[in-house]
Amino acid sequence: MKKVNICVSVQNVSKSYGIHSVLQDIHLDILEGEIFGLLGPSGAGKTTLVKELAGLDTPTEGANYLFGQKMPNLNLVQRIGYMAQSDALYTELSAKENLRFFSELYGLKGRKQVERIEEVAEIVQLSNHLSKVVSNYSGGMKRRLSLAIALLHEPELLILDEPTVGIDPLLRKNIWRAFQSLKERGKTLIVTTHVMDEADKCDRLGLLRNGKLIAVGTPGELKRQTGTKTIEEAFLYFGGEQS
């Protein structure tokens, strides 16, 4: 088996806002070139964790390391593609203007910029809707545009917070296919979700509940360990053990 590098390392991370604890002593290593799913109900702390990885938040205790360097670090930001849970788009502008704006922030210009915009629009299947003003977009289209923006600068690590919410099943399948092809090109993906059937498509999963990481492993391992047939059942098993 060839040696794989650690891309993201979460070490002893806890986060609390006042007395309210959001993350409790998380240890987690995410390997280069894998699709890692963070699974858990809303309020489990998924978003807080990925925000810390994207450099938008800092842990109260412990530290996050990306590519062997401690976050937050502005130099690493260029290597990360981040998609927030809420669609952070300029709704007065067209999709193309949004893409152009963000590509300029990542230093893409000229021909390269035009090419990349075409490529990412193709991946999320918005090529025919680029000149539309975003306020006329449906929820699913906005989600896809946010994803396209995260892909623009060809980051090595993609941090995607609930990327497929509100997207129809067929398109969701296509997007997961895109994730697979990104993975084949050596990218690392961190995807948060609370949809259990998506969890099966990840290489490895981390189950989060009430700010604690209750289990980590491949979907197969998790099911085997618990003697269950679905991730959902496995989640209930681990959850029950904890409480």
Partner 1 sequence: MRVTAMVKRILKQLIRDKRTIGLLIFAPILVLTMLYFVFNGEDYVPRIGLVDAPESFVEQLDDRKATLSLFEEEGDAEAKIAEKELDAYIKFVGGQPELILEGSDPTVTGATMEWVQEAFQPRQPENAPQLKVDTMFGSDDMGQFDYFGPVLLGFFVFFFVFLIAGVSFLRERTTGTLERLLATPLRKWEIVVGYVIGFGIFTMIQSTIIASYAVYVLGMVMEGAFFHVLLVILLLAFTALSLGILLSTFAHNELQMMQFIPIIVVPQIFFSGLFNLDTIAEWLSWISYVTPLYYAADALRDIMVRGYGFTEIYINLLVLLGFTLFFMMMNILVLRKFRTM
Nearer to partner 1, 78 or 138 (CB): 78
CB distance 161 to 85 below 8 Å: yes
Q: How far is the CB of 199 from partner 1 (least distance, A)?
A: 25
- Using CA atoms, how far apart are residues 189 and 115, in angstroms rounded to an integer? 23
Nearer to partner 1, 58 or 60 (CB): 58
- Using CA atoms, how far apart are residues 240 and 243, in angstroms rounded to an integer? 5
Nearer to partner 1, 91 or 218 (CB): 91
**SS3 call for 171:** helix
Q: How far is the CB of 13 from partner 1 (least distance, A)?
A: 15
Q: How far is the CB of 88 from partner 1 (least distance, A)?
A: 3
* Alpha helices (runs of H) in the chain, residue ranges in sequence order: 46-53, 74-77, 95-105, 110-123, 139-151, 169-184, 196-199, 219-226, 231-242
Give the helix, strand, coil percentages of the chain, each rounded to 5: 40, 25, 35
Q: How far is the CB of 61 from partner 1 (least distance, A)?
A: 15
Nearer to partner 1, 101 or 242 (CB): 101
- Using CA atoms, how far apart are residues 56 and 198, in angstroms rounded to an integer? 26
Structure tokens at 120: 């990412």
Q: How far is the CB of 26 from partner 1 (least distance, A)?
A: 19
Nearer to partner 1, 57 or 212 (CB): 57
Structure tokens at 59: 């842990």
Residues that bind partner 1 (CB under 8 A): 54-56, 58, 72-74, 77-78, 80, 82, 84, 86-93, 97, 101-102, 104-107, 109, 133, 149
**SS3 call for 41:** coil
- Selection from 35, 71, 25, 21 nearest residue 177 by Cα: 35
Q: How far is the CB of 74 from partner 1 (least distance, A)?
A: 5
Structure tokens at 108: 């893409």
Nearer to partner 1, 148 or 231 (CB): 148
